[in-house]
Amino acid sequence: MQLIEKRKWFYIFSSILVIAGIVSMFMQGFNWSIDFTGGSLLRYRMDSSITADQVRNTISDLKMVKEVSVQKSGSEFYIRTNELDQQQTAQMTAGLKEKFKNVTLESAESVGATIGSELARNALIAIGIALVLMLIYITFRFELAFGLAAVLALFHDVLIVLGLFSIFQWEVSSYFVAAILTIVGYSINDTIVIFDRVRENLRTRKKEALNTLLNRSIMQTMNRSINTVLTVLMPLVTLLLFGGSTIKIFVVALLVGFIFGVYSSICVASPLYYDIKQRSAS
């Protein structure tokens, strides 16, 4: 399969997705969760037989909050909503008591937007540090051309995931930050496997044309890349279908990221390496 020779088509496809995502980010931004915009955090104690979905549905039926996130830990329920005053908090507590009887409000506090902006800034810093460290490591372990190609492919993955979340207005929460870092780790691992094979072939097939050698290396690792992503996608699809709404966005981010991670490892990273080497040789 002549993947390197068809790299312009991959570049065009990726460029369309990246540009559309960037335009959406500037035009409509993101659907920030209360983790970033600020809101109220309430902790209730209820019967452990009650599910998070039941609590979420009950609060939604009260029609007094725009968004709600519920996490359960034993008999404790952590509820995040948009900013509530004392009267609204009392109304929510009354509504939960009417539905579930044994309900105790343990604590109620507000999370300001300042904390949310700090979280967003720290997330960007974390992603930036991860990319820089990977560039340094890959350059030291392989060479600069490999490092640049790998990091550019990772940046491509992050931009596509961000773009799709902006286009479809999927909620961006603190779980999303964890998903992005997980995607970066998965994608770089897949890219390194291909680049390691490229390096081995460069040692044993020194007279072979670089594009032919890269095509050979990609095909030699293709089964491993596809099998790995399929193995990962199966439990993610199961979590998406049966894991509940609390982790749904996290799973969606991982699904999108892993799919484009294996795509970029095969169709973006190696072609980028080829173009970098061709430019440095000319």
Nearest CA to 183 among 133, 135, 145, 233? 233
Q: What's the CATH number where 179 sits?
A: 1.20.1640.10
Number of domains comprising the chain: 2
User: What phi and psi values does residue 187 have, to the nearest 5 degrees?
Assistant: -65, -45
70 beta partners: 79
Clarify whether residues 23 and 59 are in a common domain.
no
Q: How many other C-beta atoms are found inside a 10 Å radius of the C-beta of residue 279? A: 9
* Entry field: residues in the chain: 282
The H or E element spanning position 107 is strand 104-111
The pLDDT, as a whole number, for residue 173 is 80
Q: Which of 83, 111, 139 is the last residue of a domain?
A: 111
CA separation for the pair 269, 261 (Å, rounded): 10
Token pair 């939604």: residue: 60
CATH code of the domain in which 100 resides:
3.30.70.3220
Residue ranges of alpha helices (H) inside the chain are 7-27, 34-37, 52-62, 86-100, 113-141, 144-167, 174-204, 210-242, 248-264, 270-281
| C-alpha span between 199 and 3 (Å, rounded) | 18
Range of the domain at 73: 39-111
| Domain-ending residue, one of 80, 96, 111 | 111
Residues 72, 188 share a domain? no
Residue 105 and residue 229 in one domain:
no
- Assess whether 250 and 269 both reside in one domain: yes
Q: Are 262 and 190 in contact (CB under 8 A)?
A: yes
140 shares its domain with 53: no
Do 52 and 165 sit in the same domain of this protein? Answer: no
Q: What is the pLDDT along the chain (282 residues), one digit of tens a residue?
A: 688 999 999 999 999 999 999 999 999 988 887 777 778 888 999 988 888 888 888 888 888 787 788 888 888 888 888 888 888 888 898 889 888 878 888 888 877 665 556 777 787 888 888 888 888 988 888 889 999 999 999 999 999 999 999 999 888 887 888 888 888 888 888 899 999 999 999 888 777 888 899 999 999 999 888 888 899 899 999 988 887 777 888 899 999 999 999 999 999 999 999 999 988 876
pLDDT tens column, 213-226: 999 999 999 988 88
Asked whether residue 249 falls in the same domain as residue 153, the answer is yes
Cα–Cα distances in angstroms (integers) from residue 130 to residues 136, 198, 254, in the given order:
10, 24, 17
Domain identity same for 136 and 211: yes
205 and 127 fall within a common domain? yes
Last residue of a domain, one of 88, 111, 134: 111
So what's the pLDDT on residue 217? 92
Q: What pTM, to 2 d.p., does this model score? A: 0.82
What pLDDT is recorded for position 117? 67
d(CA 272, CA 194): 13
Residues 25 and 43 in one domain: no
- The secondary structure element, H or E, covering residue 106 is strand 104-111
Q: What's the chain's Rg over C-alpha atoms?
A: 23
Is residue 173 located within the same domain as residue 70?
A: no
Around 235, how many Cα atoms within 13 Å sit in the side-chain half-sphere?
4
Residues 218 and 159 in one domain: yes
pLDDT at 62: 83
DSSP letters spanning 28-92: T--EE-HHHH-EEEEEEE--TTS-HHHHHHHHHHHT--S-EEEEEETTEEEEEES---HHHHHHH
